[in-house]
Amino acid sequence: MQQTMYRIKDPKVSLDFYTRVLGMRLLHTLDYPSMTFSLYFMGYCKAEDIPVDIAERTKWCFLQKGTIELTYNYGTESDPEFKGYHNGNTEPKGFGHIGLSVPDVDVACKRFEELGVKFIKKPNDGKMKGLAFIQDPDGYWIEILTANRMPTL
C-alpha cells in the first residue's frame, strides 16, 4: 500500500496533529489552486532522505510505503455550514481506521492523554486489552497497538 487518503477540514490543525502528536513528517505538498485543493503527504521518513529537487521529491513521495494523503478542499476551515467529513464509523458504516504500531501502547497513550488527544478506547478499556483508538482532528480513528501484545488479545 502506498497511501491512504483522508479529507481534512483545516490543514494547520491536521498537520500539527500528524507531525507533533503522531511524529510523522510532511513529505511533500501538492497545490492545485485552479481546482481549489491541496494534498499533504505524511509519513515516517528521515528528513535527510527527502529529495530537495521538487520533481525528484514528487517521484520519491509516490514510492514510499504506508503514507497518509491529507486532502484539503479550500475554504472548509472557515465555512460555518461545513459539518465535517464522515469517518466511516457511524451509519452508514464504511472505512474504519488506520493502525500505528508503537513500542509500548501504555506509554504512547499516556503521552496522547497529556497532549489532549481524544480517545475512542483506552488500552485497558473493553474486552480487547492492550490496544487503543484515538481520533485525529477530523474524527478519523487511529488504532494504537504494540505488535508483540497482539497474539494475546
- For the annotated catalytic residues, the residue numbers are 143
DSSP character string of the chain: --EEEEEES-HHHHHHIIIIIT--EEEEEEEEGGGTEEEEEEE---GGGS-SSHHHHHHHHTT-SSEEEEEEETTGGG-TT------SSSSSP---EEEEE-S-HHHHHHHHHHTTPEEEE-TTSSSSTT-EEEE-TT--EEEEE-GGGGGG-
